[in-house]
Amino acid sequence: MSDKGLFKYKGRREDRRFITGQGQFADDHNLPGQVYACFRRSDRAHALIKSIDVEAARRSPGVLAVLTGKDVAEEGFATLPPIQPPPGRGGMALLWVDRPILARDRVRFAGEEIAVVVAETQGQARDAADLIEVEFEDLPVLIGPKRAMAPGAFQMHDKIPGNLCFDFEYGNEKAVADAFTRAAGSVSLTAESPRVAPNPMEVRSALAAYDEAKDVYSFYSPNQGGPAFCHELSIVSGIPHEKIRVPMIDVGGAFGARTAPFSEYPVLMVLTKKLKRPVKWLSTRSEDFLTDNHGRAVSLKGELAYDANGKFLALRTEWLCDSGAYLSHAGAFTNSINGFVIGAGVYQVEALYGRHYQVMTNTAPTNAYRGAGRPEANYIVERLVDEAAAKLDMDPFELRRRNMIKKTQFPYKTLTGAMFDSADFHALVAKAKEAVDWKGFAARRRQSRKAGKLRGIGTAVFIEPSGGGGMKKDEVAVLFDKDGRATIHNVAGSSGQSHETVFPELVARWLGIDPEKVVGKSGDPDGPHLIGHPSIGSRSAFSQGSAFKVASDIIIEKAKKIAADELEAGVNDIEFANGVFTIAGTDRSMTMTKVIEKSCAVVPSPLDTIAERGISMAFPSGAHVAEVEIDPDTGKVDVVNYIAVDDMGNVINQVLADGQVVGGIVQGAGQVFGENCQYDPDDGQLLTGSFMDYCMPRAGLIPSIGLFNVVVPTPNNPLGVKGVGEAGSTGSLPACMNAVLNALRTVGVKHFDMPATPARIWSAIAAAKPGA
């Protein structure tokens, strides 16, 4: 496979539906007789609930039901258990508590659900919810992990002493200390990865319906994989999963925030059964800012020791992770395990030690968000390497070259036991340097200086894990109808990944049939029951795509027997290539299309196949370079060039892969240059609860992006693909911030943290001036 991809781009199958407004998202689904829900949320960040008065709401026009936590206390609701990381320091296990479905006695963050109103119209439901009176007794508010961990801090949960739910470590603390004592030099720094709101284009929404005759619920909601979502909805609602249908719908963005069901959802299932009418809930953008699981929120420390030749000796990092008021399903896990897996990045070090603190605060819970710990793990390492290069007055790429793992060392076992499958970091760097004209930067900087601007360049060479997962396998199905069409089923849902296009093209290519005769369905509740993972961890193409390869090979073997019978030959004499079965050494043949047509005379077709692929991992990597120009009079930053060289393994569809990389780059840059969820430190109110106050990244943020590939296929799956969905956000965080710091160092700024907004940059420049 070349870096042009397997297929010539012919457009996505879903494009016409989306660009003509025919997409069917959650709010586009309506059912006869549906009514509307609205939640009364806490306006306090931490308080005891003394009383709840719902009488005015019940009397409000159109109101059909009002429920509080006491009304649903016996419904069998449960908390989705957080994924357990490996044992922590001293064998510590992750501590967690149940999150109440509708708070009863106490609220722990602004926006937490207290009651729900159902009315005939959406407006009536919202008006009535405003009438619910709640008497609070305020409690101390803890914003930020440092405040929550301070001696004597108020304890948020009885079962989580000191508000520390997990203390995780890896590596060899003593070996690192010994290496630092004999080092010729070292650098240290702190760095922030600010809390961000995921903000998919589609806000959270749900439509619940109950079929009393069948005792079955239908639940329409954006998700990243229907079967996994259904399983988890069953856990939180207490309703058996076989009684829940999650229909396939279009999803307007996810980024990790649409994997698991939210706490509003089981309440809707109770209401639809109670009222015997479908119940719809549509979040507002403000509610999403308040209560959608946030991302990042990590404070980092790092130290890097090196010898007299610039060879890295040891790396020590510390993560202070803000987990929010309750643990989400994946937040603590990803903020622990990804540092463990890729703690030293792409570099060889003699010793490594990392320690991660997961801390409870009076804020919205944090969860896996595009990259999910990968950006932070690479960010602290790449910031340290650039800091060392500046201190040593060495070219940043040269310092990296001296310390990177070599291609001949793969597969490479890290100091924490992770096994990197394949990469060529030196080839990535060589292509990035050439593409960005690294040697010409000094001349470009002089030109900017003449124009009164500061120019900086920054790079990041990174690696990230993809794949894995909690289930042991991914299943797919290929079923044929009487007209010879193939319907292929998988479980990962698309929210922009184009499964609807990619998987049918792959299966059609392997079987040698017309792609137009292959239709993809993800998570179809009316299809075969399949086990597998949602769209998480940049894994769908190589896990479920590989499962489709297994299925296609099985179908070819089944079809070979049919072709042998039709051609009156032995099965062992039949060869298959390019969609044609041929008797070896003859010109007698039969196409796969004809074989399918023959087989479809019988229902079900003997070619119908369910196949599986065990889980595996791969390690995509990349070298990204950002070049920025800063106006010192205003602090405004322009990203004047961005180069991304990625090793995503074999490329299936170059245009779609490029789209994933660009989206990730801009998402990461959005965090660097503005995105930041800020809470008032005294009362815990979210200060950035709308796009009036929260920075929205726009397409012009990075107007020029050059995309290149270095293809090193992974041996860990039959497609040789590694994953691409999170590479952009993993590379752009350190590349953009290193570029900003490279520019600011020229005017004496020694430390600077995200977000790199004009006001903060201007202030940093002003503070660095002599006499300031």
Residues 6+ apart with CB under 8 A from 440: none
Q: Reduce the DSSP state of residue 474 to 3 states and report it.
A: strand
Residue 12 is predicted with a pLDDT of 87
Reported as a single tens digit per residue, the pLDDT across 417-461 is 999 999 999 999 999 999 999 999 999 999 999 999 999 999 999
Q: Is residue 93 scored above 90 in pLDDT?
A: yes
Query: How far is it, in rounded angstroms, from Cα 393 to Cα 749?
Result: 16
Query: What's the whole-number mean pLDDT along residues 83-90?
Result: 96
Query: How far is it, in rounded angstroms, from Cα 78 to Cα 236?
Result: 5
Residue type, 144: G
Highest mean pLDDT among 488-497, 527-536, 681-690: 681-690
Paired tokens of 540 = 């769908």
Q: Is residue 524 scored above 80 in pLDDT?
A: yes
Q: Reduce the DSSP state of residue 534 to 3 states and report it.
A: coil
Reported as a single tens digit per residue, the pLDDT across 691-750 is 999 998 888 899 989 999 999 999 999 999 999 999 999 999 999 999 999 999 999 999
Query: What's the whole-number mean pLDDT along residues 510-523?
Result: 95
Residue 4 is predicted with a pLDDT of 54
Contact call for residues 219 and 269 (beta carbons, < 8 A): yes
Looking at residue 721, the DSSP 8-state letter turns out to be B
Residue 5 is predicted with a pLDDT of 59
Residue 620 is predicted with a pLDDT of 97
Q: Is residue 2 scored above 60 in pLDDT?
A: no
Paired tokens of 121 = 């119209």
Residue 11 is predicted with a pLDDT of 80
Contact call for residues 408 and 426 (beta carbons, < 8 A): no
- HSE value, Cβ hemisphere, 13 Å, CA-based, for 669: 32
Reported as a single tens digit per residue, the pLDDT across 585-644 is 999 999 999 999 999 888 899 999 999 999 999 999 999 999 999 999 999 999 999 999
Rounded to two decimals, the pTM is: 0.95
Paired tokens of 657 = 């892969």
- Mean of the per-residue pLDDT values of the chain: 95
Residue 698 is predicted with a pLDDT of 87
Residue type, 277: R
Q: Is residue 9 scored above 70 in pLDDT?
A: no
Q: Is residue 265 scored above 60 in pLDDT?
A: yes
* Band of pLDDT at residue 689, cut at 50, 70 and 90: very high
Helices 265-275 and 226-237, axial angle in degrees (round to 10): 70
On the 0-12 / 13-18 / 19+ scale of CB atoms within 10 A, 350 is: middle
Place of tokens 């801390």: 359
Q: Is residue 238 scored above 90 in pLDDT?
A: yes
Reported as a single tens digit per residue, the pLDDT across 29-75 is 999 999 999 999 999 999 999 999 999 999 999 999 999 999 999 99
